[in-house]
Amino acid sequence: MASAKLVSSGAYGGESAPGSGRPLVLLLLDRGPVLRDLPRIVLAVCALVIGADCGAARAAERTFVLAPADLVSAPDLFGAKALARSGVLGKAVGVKRGAVRFGRGLCPSLLADPTRKLTRVRVLGGPIAAPLVVGKSLAKDLGAALAAMNAASWLPPASSATRKTCRGGTKDGIACHLPGECLGGGACSSDWIAEPPTATAIGFTTAGFATGDQVGALGRAEAANGVPGFRFAVDLAVDPKTGPVDLAVAVTSELPSKRIGKPGKRTECIMVASMLPVDLQALRDLVDATPLDAVTRNRLRYLLDRAQGFLDGGRPEGPSRAARNVRTFALEVAQRSETEIAPAFAEAMITRANATAEALSF
Where is pLDDT greater, at 103 or 38? Answer: 103
Task: State what percent of residues in the chain have pLDDT above 70.
Answer: 83
Low-confidence winner among 56-70, 119-133, 188-202, 213-227 (lowest mean pLDDT):
56-70
Better-scored residue on pLDDT, 167 or 228 = 228
Please, which pLDDT band fits residue 59 given cuts at 50, 70 and 90? low
Q: What is the pLDDT of residue 29?
A: 44
Calculate mean pLDDT across residues 49-58: 43
**Mean pLDDT calculated for residue range 317-330:** 96
Q: What is the mean pLDDT of residues 112-128?
A: 97
How far apart are the C-alpha atoms of 187 and 178, rounded to whole Å? 9
Residue pair 97/291 in contact (Cβ under 8 Å)? The answer is no
Alpha-carbon distance of 104 to 96, in angstroms, equals 10
Residue pLDDT, tens place only, 64-109: 999 999 999 999 999 999 999 999 999 999 999 899 999 999 999 9
Which of 279, 303, 286 lies closest to 354 in space, CA to CA? 279
- The dihedral of CA 144, 145, 151, 154: what is its sign? negative
Please state, in angstroms and rounded to a whole number, the distance separating the CA atoms of residues 43 and 49. Answer: 10
Under 8 Å between Cβ of 120 and 71: no
pLDDT band at 168 (very low <50, low <70, confident <90, very high): confident
- CB under 8 Å to 297, separation ≥6 — which residues? 287
Q: Residue 13's pLDDT is what?
A: 36
Tens of pLDDT, residue by residue over 342-357, are 999 999 999 999 999 9
Instruction: Give the per-residue pLDDT at 52.
Output: 41
pLDDT band (50, 70, 90) for residue 274: very high
Q: Report pLDDT for 223.
A: 96
Q: What is the pLDDT of residues 170-208, one digit of tens each?
A: 788 787 877 677 887 788 889 999 999 999 999 999 999
Residue 231 predicted with pLDDT over 90 = yes
pTM of the entire structure?
0.82
Reply yes or no on whether the pLDDT at 7 is more than 70: no
| Position 21 pLDDT exceeds 50 | no
Nearest to 328 by CA among 352, 347, 300: 300
**Residue 58's pLDDT is what?**
53
Q: Write b or e for each residue in 267-300: b if 16 or more Cβ atoms lie within 10 A of its Cβ, otherwise e.
A: bbbbbbbebbbbbbbbbbbbbeebebeeebeebb
* Pairwise CA distance, residues 206 & 219, whole Å: 13
Task: Please tell me the distance from the alpha carbon of residue 179 to that of residue 320, in angstroms, as a whole number.
Answer: 16
pLDDT at 282 > cutoff 60: yes
* CA dist 192 → 161, 162, 233 (Å): 9, 7, 17
Confidence of residue 160 (pLDDT cuts 50, 70, 90): very high
From 273, 271, 252, select the one nearest 102 (Cα to Cα). 271
Distance (Å, whole) CA 107 – CA 267: 8
Contact 102, 270 (CB under 8 A): yes
> DSSP letters of 130-196?
HHHHH-HHHHTTHHHHHHHTTPPPEEEEEEEEE-EEEESSTTTT-EESSGGGS-TT-EEE-SEEEPP
pLDDT at 177: 75
Mean of per-residue pLDDT scores for the chain = 86
Average pLDDT of 317-332? 96
- Residue 326 pLDDT > 70: yes
DSSP E strands in 237-321: the ranges are 245-254, 266-275
Start-to-end Cα distance in the chain: 40
What does the pLDDT read at residue 172? 82
pLDDT at 284: 98
Q: Given a cut of 70, is residue 2 above it in pLDDT?
A: no
Q: What percent of the chain has pLDDT over 90?
A: 72
What's the mean pLDDT in 25-40?
44
- Cβ burial 164-191 (10 Å sphere, 16+ → b, else e): bbbbebebeeeebeeeeebeeebebbbb
